[in-house]
């Protein structure tokens, strides 16, 4: 009950806060192993107290998945594919309300499992999984589900990985940051693919 109330409080706080997005500079030095595959410019989201997060995505969306997954919007992307890096200048929260410590993290593609523990989390199963950049330095790697979860647990310090919900956007959607209910959604391109990312907001379930 306390967890649900806390999630509702955080979501309400996010709903009243105002956020903006703008172009960011070059990727941070911590992301140098990925320099060849990252876009030269990122996107920064800021709140009333300054920058909240900065994303730098890959120049081309990875492909090559052989078996389509149920309720996935990016069926061509293989599990574990490297999608970019994200920097948090101050403590933040992931989609589950877990604390994200300041620092730089890799972003890899995953799908939440089809099990009773994840019912109603999101309509789609696509997720960013965040891992400390210090232990994830190969952009060509495609770690298994188990390996990726272990990597991300080193970032969360809890029994659950750090995650951000995202999906492939419908044709006609426009890039930018918008408030949608109690969340803020960033629409931006990974390669030529427009995606939506829940950048601010906690799942209250």
- Write out pLDDT tens, residues 110-140: 997 755 444 444 567 899 999 999 999 999 9
| Euclidean distance between CA atoms 87 and 2, whole angstroms | 29
pLDDT for residue 5: 30
Mean pLDDT of 95-106: 92
Mean pLDDT of 137-157: 96
Sign of the torsion angle spanned by Cα atoms 93, 119, 147, 67 = negative
- Give the CA dihedral 36, 22, 87, 98, nearest 10 degrees: -140
Contact 132, 154 (CB under 8 A): yes
Q: What is the pTM of this model?
A: 0.86
pLDDT in tens, 159-168: 989 999 999 9
pLDDT for residue 45: 97
Mean pLDDT of 74-88: 95
Q: What SS3 state is found at 98? A: coil
What's the whole-number average pLDDT of the chain?
86
**pLDDT band per the 50, 70, 90 thresholds, residue 69:** low
pLDDT for residue 67: 63
């Amino acid at each position: 009950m306390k967890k649900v109330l806390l999630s509702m409080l955080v979501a309400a706080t996010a709903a009243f806060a105002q956020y903006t997005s703008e172009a960011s500079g070059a990727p941070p030095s911590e992301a140098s192993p990925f320099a060849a595959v990252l876009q030269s410019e990122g996107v920064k989201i800021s709140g009333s107290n300054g920058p909240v997060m900065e994303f730098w995505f890959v120049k081309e969306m990875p492909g090559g998945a052989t078996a389509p997954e149920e309720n996935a919007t990016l069926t061509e992307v293989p599990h574990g594919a490297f999608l970019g890096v994200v920097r948090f200048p101050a403590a933040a929260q992931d989609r589950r309300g877990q604390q994200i410590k300041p620092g730089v993290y890799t972003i890899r593609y995953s799908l939440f499992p089809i099990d009773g523990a994840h019912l109603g989390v999101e309509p789609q199963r696509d997720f960013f999984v965040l891992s400390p950049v210090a232990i994830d330095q190969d952009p060509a790697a495609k770690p298994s589900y188990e390996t990726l979860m272990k990597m991300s647990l080193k970032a969360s310090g809890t029994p659950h990985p750090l995650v951000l919900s995202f999906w492939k956007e419908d044709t006609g959607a426009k890039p930018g940051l918008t408030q949608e209910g109690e969340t803020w959604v960033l629409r931006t391109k990974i390669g030529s693919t427009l995606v939506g990312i829940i950048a601010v907001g906690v799942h209250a379930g």
